[in-house]
Amino acid sequence: MTTITRRALGLVTAASFTALAATGALAQEKRIIAVSIPAATHGWTGGVVYHAEQAEKEIEAAFPNIDVIVKTSPSATAQVSALEDLAAAQKLDALVILPFTSEELTGPVEQVKAAGTFIAVVDRGLTDPAIQDLYVAGDNLAVGANTAKWLAEKLGNEGKVVVLRGIPTVIDDERIQGFTEVIKGTNIEILDIQYANWNQDEAFTLMQDYLAKYPQIDAVWANDDDMLLGVLEAVKESGRTEIRYALGGNGMKDVIELVMAGDPVTPISTPYPPSMIKSAIYMVAGQFTGQAPMRGSFKLDAPLITPENAEQFYFPDSPF
């Protein structure tokens, strides 16, 4: 698997645009890039919608020969219908899709592929990876592992922590795997680890349970920034002061603001940016405009977000 950074992606995009200018590709036939994504049902997908719409505006403004069509769907069933409508209305040169669920969308995407459409899959994969030409995702193992390494160092490899899981998915499994594998090499004890379904209210309730059950908690890892906000509220209401760190992940705007302000309890985060949808759309556009081959799998880095670099991950106009 190839790993690229945001900077590298920017260079690829810039190279594609330069090639466009040199070859006069603006005169080429109209290309249609359909983008199928979940509706803004929670914070992270709200960010996905925002960045997809930003990409649509920017690419269409720069390249009159490209038409980007963004369709959001509130469920897997609705996304299947949206795909059928898109494919029936016009010939799609490319489909960029973040599947609601892998199993339900694999067959419909395969049908779109059969018409000669270039397929780019983002984040949640299909059950048959052979269908996709391009795959863009974050590094969930690194999200967990990089957070655990930082936490272990700050705690001196000693202490008691509680963990909140997301929903039972490969993404959650990988984050937990990355975190626990690092913690196993320390004297840090994981007191408890339960699901809160990447939901702020459920995280609030679960953290209340943890606080009632354990008289000493040195740190909390919430796995996700939506859940982290629930954790922070529960800790605040409890009045407990021994909790040194409460950490999440994903790069939510509200949490990045805490990091930028040097918050003592949440001084770092790790990115799993919803802007990866924008990266994928730009990569597909680069293929059509600059004749730059864009095939394979690309895993975005998950470096620690600190006060020193937080501005790079901060999108003030994004809902997430």
Residues 47-80: tens digit of each pLDDT = 999 999 999 999 999 999 999 999 999 999 999 9
At residue 12, the pLDDT reads: 45
Residue 244 in tokens? 């040194």
Residue 8 clears pLDDT 80, i.e. is over it: no
At residue 2, the pLDDT reads: 39
Mean pLDDT of 129-149: 95
* Of the candidates 202, 261, 266, 256, the residue with the CA atom closest to the CA atom of residue 234: 202
Residues forming beta bridges with residue 73, ordered by sequence position: 38
> Which residues have a Cβ under 8 Å from the Cβ of 89 and sit 6 or more positions away?
none
8 compared with 179, residue with greater pLDDT: 179
Q: Does the domain at residues 31-132+274-301 carry the CATH identifier 3.40.50.2300?
A: yes
Residue 192 clears pLDDT 60, i.e. is over it: yes
> Which residues have a Cβ under 8 Å from the Cβ of 132 and sit 6 or more positions away?
119, 120, 121, 125, 126
Q: 31-132+274-301 with 140-261: one CATH topology?
A: yes
Distance of alpha carbon 63 from alpha carbon 285, whole angstroms: 9
Mean pLDDT of 217-229: 95
Distance of alpha carbon 221 from alpha carbon 244, whole angstroms: 11
Residue 13 clears pLDDT 50, i.e. is over it: no
At residue 26, the pLDDT reads: 45
Residue 3 in tokens? 């790993």
* Of the candidates 233, 277, 274, the residue with the CA atom closest to the CA atom of residue 253: 274
Distance of alpha carbon 94 from alpha carbon 34, whole angstroms: 6
At residue 28, the pLDDT reads: 58
Residues 242-300: tens digit of each pLDDT = 999 999 998 899 999 999 999 999 999 999 889 999 999 999 999 888 777 889 999 98
Q: What is the pTM of this model?
A: 0.76
Residue that the structure tokens 């379904």 belong to: 197
Residue 153 in tokens? 């160092």
- Candidates 3.40.605.10, 3.30.479.30, 3.40.50.2300, 3.40.50.261; CATH matching 140-261: 3.40.50.2300
Residue 304 clears pLDDT 90, i.e. is over it: yes
Domain regions of the chain by residue span: 31-132+274-301, 140-261
Q: Determine the 3-state secondary structure of 191 from DSSP.
A: strand
End-to-end alpha carbon distance in the chain: 28
